[in-house]
Structure 1
Amino acid sequence: MIALMRLLIFGGIALAALYLGLSWYFRAAHRERMERDWEAAGRPGNREAYIEEGMAQYERSLRRRLLWLVFILPVTAVAAIIWFTNFN
Structure 2
Amino acid sequence: MFGFVPVFVVGFAVLSVVYVAVSFWSRQVRRRKLRKRWEEEGRPGDRESYVEAGLDEYDDSFRRKLILLVYLVPLAVIVAIIYAVNYM
Alignment match, 1:8: 8
Gaps of 5+ in 2: none
* Aligned AA (1:48): E
Q: Larger deviation: 48-57 or 18-27?
A: 48-57
Q: CA RMSD in A?
A: 1.3
Instruction: Tell me the CA shift for residue 2 of structure 1.
Output: 4.6
Gaps of 5+ in 1: none
Alignment match, 1:25: 25
Instruction: Tell me the CA shift for residue 11 of structure 1.
Output: 0.6
C-alpha separation in 2, matches of 1:80 and 1:4 = 16
* Aligned AA (2:30): H
Alignment match, 2:52: 52
Instruction: Tell me the CA shift for residue 50 of structure 1.
Output: 0.8
- TM-score normalised over the length of structure 1: 0.90
After TM superposition, which residue ranges in structure 1, 4 or more long, deviate above 4 angstroms?
none
C-alpha separation in 2, matches of 1:72 and 1:33 = 28
